[in-house]
Homo-oligomer: A and B are copies of this chain.
């Protein structure tokens, strides 16, 4: 059997209260007893149980991560950074892929609450705002990623989506494109990007055409289908701005199937700058994933540990990464 606090106490000839104090560095303990207890603990290879200590009201040292899909490189790269920082601070991450599905969201949130996670990281793509309300009603800290809920004052971290939308569109317009389409992911952050997109169009005296706008989920297939629709429009686009790299890959797939070459026949710009963008040499709006993951862990854990009372709202800058998938309009 694994040793318990009783085993340590007995072997050290002290009470369990004393052992508990040296474990947690609380109360006042003489140097001598402290050393003794520490010695016995390592002799016995004793490790305090999180489960037992959580039952007494302490933390579980666990954070729930709610994302649409861990298999999406954007989320997995984010998760990796989050995990690294959280782990440094003594927390582990449990992953929950919700697939934009309210049922799954509900099941996961309830599961995580029963497990008494110390906090939640919720990313864009989470649809049920009521659930988030329930979580904060229980006084469980939450940090939102690329997702803001104006009615709720919460920690949040994201990029300036308006800017991302604007810059990407401007890049395309600068290259001479007049027919610039958008494939948006059905997540909240898309709204601001669309605003940026529209403003950039205006800036370059281009009209917004609803036929050049599609909203969809984030799989390669969805991107492919959307692109197909777009290219079938009367006056088809010469450039497509996909709101994430996966969708952009879908666009490229579609182009490949149609024998269109990129960027000669079609310019494509993605968003996220994940590993997916590398070899397709995809021009994309980069997100500072490392910073986002680290900041997310920091703010959330600060709140969990009661070190901060004010909520943070962090807005990072996206960065245009120009590769080979965008080029001047050919007439």
Contact surface of A with B, Cβ cutoff 8 Å: 2, 47-52, 54-55, 60-62, 69-71, 73, 76-77, 79-80, 83-84, 87, 92-97, 107-108, 110-116, 138, 220, 246, 249, 252-253, 256, 275-276, 278-281
Contacts and interface: CB of A to CB of B under 8 A. Distances in A.
Nearest to A77: B71
19 contacts: A47-B110, A47-B113, A52-B55, A55-B55, A61-B115, A69-B80, A70-B76, A71-B76, A76-B76, A80-B97, A92-B96, A93-B94, A93-B95, A94-B94, A94-B95, A95-B95, A252-B279, A253-B278, A276-B279
Given A80-B71, A95-B79, A97-B83, A2 B60 contact: no
What copy number does this chain have within its complex? 2
A54 B51 CA distance: 7
B51 A60 contact: yes
A107 B87 CA distance: 9
A94 B65 CA distance: 10
A150 to B, nearest CB: 27
A275 B253 contact: no
B71 A114 contact: no
For the complex, would chain A's binding face be called helix, strand, loop or mixed by DSSP majority? helix
A92 B51 CA distance: 16
Nearest to A246: B275
A23 B61 CA distance: 27
A157 B189 CA distance: 39
A93 B97 CA distance: 11
A28 to B, nearest CB: 26
A201 to B, nearest CB: 28
A92 B94 contact: yes
Given A52-B55, A96-B92, A70 B62 contact: no
A83 B95 CA distance: 8
B97 A2 contact: no
Contacts of A94: 62, 92-95
B2 A138 contact: yes
A71, A111, A114: which has the most chain B beta carbons within 10 Å? A71
B249 A116 contact: no
Nearest to A63: B94
Given A51-B51, A73-B73, 17 more contacts: A49-B114, A51-B54, A51-B60, A70-B70, A70-B83, A71-B77, A76-B76, A79-B95, A80-B97, A83-B95, A92-B94, A94-B94, A246-B275, A249-B279, A256-B279, A275-B276, A276-B276
